Amino acid sequence: MITNITSRHFEIPDVFKKYVEYKLTKFERTYKRTTSVNVTIEMIKEGLFKAKIALEIPHKEVLTASSENHSMVKAFDESFELTLRRLRDFKDRLDNRNSADITRRIKRNLTF
């Protein structure tokens, strides 16, 4: 998985970059076919941060989420949790569709 972490209007500390990279591994553990993820942390005004995550996966172009907060970490965590929830929903829909397709094939083969 390709990971891009960018900041606008300020410099991200190395500790926070490592934290973000660690959290982003959860996307790949949840859905192995994750292609890339772009994280943008922006300082909107003094003391207000906006975090945006864009996760690219096959079968769907991009899952995105953004959040604003006075804490850089909280803004990232909120957008991370929202993106993770959307990824899990996507994976569940994909699994349900595949299981329904398998059931239809079995029923077709059992008819005499």
Residue 92 is predicted with a pLDDT of 87
Classify the C-alpha dihedral 85-91-95-98 as positive or negative. positive
Cα separation, 13 vs 17, in Å, equals 7
Query: Which of 97, 78, 99, 86 minimizes the C-alpha distance to 31?
Result: 86
Residue 101 is predicted with a pLDDT of 66
Instruction: Supply the range of the domain harboring residue 65.
Output: 2-110
pTM of this structure: 0.84
β-pairing, 48-57 vs 2-8, is: unpaired
**Residue 109, φ and ψ in degrees, nearest 5:** -75, -20
Residue 5 is predicted with a pLDDT of 96
Residue 58 is predicted with a pLDDT of 84
Any idea what the CATH number is for the domain that residue 40 is in? 3.30.160.100
Number of domains in the chain: 1
Q: What is the mean pLDDT of each run of 10 residues along the chain (112 residues)?
A: 94 96 95 94 94 89 93 97 94 78 60 49
